[in-house]
Amino acid sequence: MLTRRGLMVNGAAAALVFSGGARAQSSGDALALHQRLICLDTHLDTPASLARPGWDIMQRHSMDSDMTQVDVPRMREGGLDGGFWAIYTPQGPLTPQAKMAARNAALLRAAEIREMVAAHPETFELAFEADDAAKIAARGKIIVFQSIENSYPLADDVSLLRGFYALGVRLVGPVHFKVNQFGDSATDKPHWNGLSPAGKELVALANDLGMVLDASHSADSVFDDMIELSRAPIICSHSGCRAVHDHPRNLDDARIKALAAKGGTIQINSYNDYLVSVPPNPERAKVVGPIYGKLENLSAMTPEQATAAVREAAATLKAMNAKYPQPRATFEDYMKHVTHALDLVGPDHVGVGCDWDGGGGVAGMEDVASLPRITERLLKLGYTEAQLANFWGGNALRALKAAETARKT
């Protein structure tokens, strides 16, 4: 069983698929069970907050006060033991200068993650292999795997992935909102009709290193190429179900089944626009866009200036939500995606990747403190403790273990 007491498995640690297990009968029992499991989220955008002057991950924050969703107090309350902390780089121009700037930004973000761990060694610990998760959790620490969201910073040298692997990156996705040098995006006009030649090199090198490939944000054609080319399971670290809500970033049922057949897992996203339909509102966009623009240079501000800028942005955004309301996904909407995937491929191929601090969160599940609601609901639906152990971390770790097995030494 994958719990904070460690892995108790018949045979290899890779065999993270269980059956049976006790069922909780009350919300109190559900919370106790949730806290007992090792719970991982495969896409945490929280590293974007680490360089914010005056912001401290050890202190409790809130969406209302500073627009963040993850910190140590809320992780402890919500039973989130860690996950994959994202090195995210926005897609920019495909020029040599822009690519080099992106490379530097990604390296700096990786350094910031390591600085978080070094500053609080009693709280955080870097994880490099699947088996590290149970050991770290048993020590009462938060698990810090690292991921790359958007491989744009690799510029024109796929071999830079080796350097990020040395820093601890174990999950890599080729694209984000726009087409880049590695492949097509789900939300952009196709250019390569799948992976580019460099993208195919990226898949091969990730396999050789033992890194898991992440198809979230990729075009369907890129997903298909990754499934075909990868000799290890791939995952979607934060995606939804197209059958529930038709969005290009969500996966159709056939691809969810293909993902599962290869040993992978879909980790369900809680980003509003990928859960429910949100009609365009140009007037709202005119106001909201600049709000986020003001937050792009927080690292250059004093702590007082950064705090004031974030508070102003939060207040303005709240006012805009009142003036220009838009459909807001609820916890029930989120669970429709979760249960659809579970019904389709079972609890050995579904998990959680809520996109915290990257736009995720729904009404009724605003931050990581709310995560036990998922466990409570799944217990009511009849899922066992053993199945939930897979759902909350075992499935993603199984994919990582398979990637480790497939790598070239």
Q: Express each pLDDT in 89-125 by its tens digit.
A: 999 999 999 999 999 999 999 999 999 999 999 999 9
Based on the domain organization, do 93 and 31 belong to the same domain? yes
Residue 211 lies in a domain: yes
Higher pLDDT, 283 or 376: 376
Q: Report the share of the chain in percent with pLDDT over 90.
A: 81
Residue 20 lies in a domain: no
Based on the domain organization, do 180 and 309 belong to the same domain? no
Q: Assess whether pLDDT exceeds 60 at residue 405.
A: yes
Based on the domain organization, do 341 and 396 belong to the same domain? yes
Residue 322 lies in a domain: yes
pTM value surpassing 0.85: yes
Q: Is residue 335 within 8 Å of residue 377, measured between CB atoms?
A: yes
Q: Is residue 328 within 8 Å of residue 63, measured between CB atoms?
A: no
Note the pLDDT of residue 347: 98
Residue 5 lies in a domain: no
What distance in Å separates the CA atoms of residue 157 and residue 179, rounded to the nearest whole number? 17
What distance in Å separates the CA atoms of residue 56 and residue 307, rounded to the nearest whole number? 12
User: What are the two backbone dihedrals, phi and then psi, of residue 6, each rounded to the nearest 5 degrees?
Assistant: 115, 180
Residue 69 lies in a domain: yes
Based on the domain organization, do 319 and 333 belong to the same domain? no
Identify the domain containing residue 375 by its residue range. Answer: 27-278+329-406
Based on the domain organization, do 186 and 242 belong to the same domain? yes
Based on the domain organization, do 315 and 397 belong to the same domain? no
What distance in Å separates the CA atoms of residue 89 and residue 87, rounded to the nearest whole number? 7
Based on the domain organization, do 188 and 255 belong to the same domain? yes
Based on the domain organization, do 272 and 288 belong to the same domain? no
272-302: per-residue pLDDT in tens?
A: 999 999 999 898 888 888 888 888 888 889 9
Residue 377 lies in a domain: yes
Length of the chain: 409
Note the pLDDT of residue 26: 63
Based on the domain organization, do 198 and 62 belong to the same domain? yes
Based on the domain organization, do 120 and 266 belong to the same domain? yes
